[in-house]
Amino acid sequence: MKRYDEMLPAGIWRRLDHIGVAVSDLEITANKYQQLGFTEIERENLPEQGVEVVMLDGGNCRLELLAPLRDNSPIARFIDKRGQGLQHIAFETKSLDTALADLATRNIVPISPPSIGAGGNRVAFLHPRDTEGVLLELVEYP
């Protein structure tokens, strides 16, 4: 039997990895989602990004709750401008460098160079102006 991994398509966007939700108060929202039946699977601070993260198991896709660690973090600015709610959609990519090189040939560059995101994975974000309004995250597992 083929491994799930081998059945994934070869392109940049392999599979939906998680959906990012911006929240003001991590405790309140994590509790609310647990009341909705979601299970917390991971919790971590990402000081460089200025966020505190709770990952929830959503069956075939995880939900990433993101709360600001400081007032000037991108997630704090997002909430100031647009309120709580859907913030980004993340797809797994096999090789972040290959994906970004491919996108660069189409004049699409990430918002900033790849960094280490939730779960210790390498990540990069594409600006909503390049995606017709959706902040897209690329995730490469170690």
The vertex-46 CA angle with 75 and 126, nearest 5°, equals 50
DSSP for 14-34, written as a single string? -EEEEEEEE-S-HHHHHHHHH
Closer CB to Co ion, 2 or 68, in the complex: 68
**What is the smallest separation between the CB atom of 6 and Co ion, expressed in angstroms?**
25
Pairing of strands 62-68, 51-57: antiparallel
**What is the smallest separation between the CB atom of 126 and Co ion, expressed in angstroms?**
12
Closer CB to Co ion, 8 or 16, in the complex: 16
Closer CB to Co ion, 90 or 96, in the complex: 90
Residue whose entry in the numeric block shows the structure tokens 């990895």: 17
**Straight-line distance from the first to the last Cα atom of the chain, in angstroms, rounded to the nearest whole number:** 24
**What is the smallest separation between the CB atom of 20 and Co ion, expressed in angstroms?**
4
**3-class secondary-structure state, position 83:** coil
CA distance 7 to 82: 38
Kindly list the residues in this chain that would bind Co ion in the complex (CB under 5 A). Answer: 20, 64, 90, 137
**What is the smallest separation between the CB atom of 63 and Co ion, expressed in angstroms?**
10
Closer CB to Co ion, 92 or 137, in the complex: 137
**What is the smallest separation between the CB atom of 53 and Co ion, expressed in angstroms?**
8
Closer CB to Co ion, 46 or 105, in the complex: 46
| 92 Cβ contact list (under 8 Å, min separation 6) | 14, 15, 16, 17, 139, 140, 141
